[in-house]
């Protein structure tokens, strides 16, 4: 036999005893129809269940959606007995409640449209959620944080360093320092080896906060210390030896 028509499948998914013996046999052996019923069933389940019990991957539609669906159905199908709008109460009448036999005929006209509308709606909302999740995944993640503590002579100074990594592996460090900048000096940000035997300059810190690229090959395990120095305009590119704050990204 050919596939069971969509309207009958929708009613079956809603729990109506609409299948004859041949259709029940067909449903047991036809993956296409079985898949359609499972999909419709999940929509029905989601629509009927209190929000807390809805399947995790189905998203409750925003308020007013049932009213809009009803309006559309009344416009297109002339349905006189569209379901009551879903209220905020968990014990409200479900929009797809089991019908009385007497109105089954009327409901047959618009239930498949309602299920189709709900399916489109749920897929649309779920798509939006997935899109937002994709957006989140595109955001950078924090891979290391260090509190920066004042060195002797800089009591009261403080700061923070946060290393971010974007999905393509690019790393940046955001360094913020709270300490006065004496006239005629500037700040420079460095990464140091734990024993101060080596250092890498990340750049000048202009203002209280700066964002610096970390070289791709740089292993933060080798250079875990974040150091902010006070530098003078003396033409010497080396570390002045006057550190303001320092912190350990591996701590
Ligand atoms: Zn089939």
Can you give the residue ranges of every domain in the chain? 6-138, 141-248
| Alpha carbon of 9 to ligand 1 centroid (Å) | 10
The whole-number pLDDT of residue 188 equals 97
Q: Give every CB contact of residue 22 below 8 A, 6+ residues apart in sequence.
A: 1
Cβ-based neighbours of 219, under 8 Å, separated by 6 or more: none
Q: What angle do CA 158, 162, 165 make, to 5 degrees?
A: 170
Quote the pLDDT of residue 233. 93
Length, in residues, of the chain:
251
Distance 214 CA to ligand 1 centre (A): 58
4 C-alpha vs ligand 1 centroid, how far in Å?
A: 6
- The tokens describing 26, both together, are 């067909």
- What is the 10 CA–ligand 1 centroid distance (Å)? 13
Q: Which residues of the chain have pLDDT under 70?
A: 1, 47-63, 65-66, 69, 72-112, 114, 118-138
Ligand 1 centre from 38 Cα, in Å?
Answer: 13
**Which CATH architecture is the domain 141-248 placed in?**
Sandwich (2.60)
CA 65 to chain CA mean position, Å: 23
Residue 100 is predicted with a pLDDT of 55
Alpha helices in 89-228 (DSSP H): 104-138
pLDDT for the residue numbered 137: 52
């Amino acid at each position: 036999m050919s596939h069971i028509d969509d309207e009958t499948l929708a009613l079956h998914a809603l729990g109506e005893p609409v299948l004859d013996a041949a259709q029940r046999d067909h449903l047991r052996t036809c993956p296409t129809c079985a898949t359609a019923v499972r999909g419709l069933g999940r929509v029905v389940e989601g629509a009927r269940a209190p929000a807390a019990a809805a399947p995790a991957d189905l998203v409750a539609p925003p308020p007013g959606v049932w009213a809009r669906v009803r309006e559309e159905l009344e416009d297109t199908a002339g349905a006189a007995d569209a379901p009551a709008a879903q209220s905020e109460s968990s014990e409200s009448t479900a929009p797809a409640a089991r019908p009385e036999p007497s109105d089954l005929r009327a409901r047959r006209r618009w239930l498949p449209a309602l299920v189709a509308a709900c399916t489109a709606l749920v897929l649309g909302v779920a798509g939006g959620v997935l899109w937002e999740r994709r957006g989140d995944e595109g955001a950078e993640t924090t891979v290391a944080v260090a509190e920066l503590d004042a060195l002797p002579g800089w009591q009261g100074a403080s700061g923070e360093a946060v290393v971010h990594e974007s999905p393509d592996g690019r790393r940046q460090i955001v360094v913020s320092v709270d300490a006065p900048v004496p006239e005629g000096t500037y700040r420079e940000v460095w990464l140091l080896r734990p024993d101060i035997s080596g250092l890498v300059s990340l750049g000048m810190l202009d203002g209280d906060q700066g964002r610096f690229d970390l070289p791709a090959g740089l292993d933060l395990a080798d250079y875990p210390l974040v150091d902010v120095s006070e530098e003078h305009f003396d033409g010497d590119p080396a570390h002045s030896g006057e550190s303001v704050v320092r912190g350990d990204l591996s701590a």
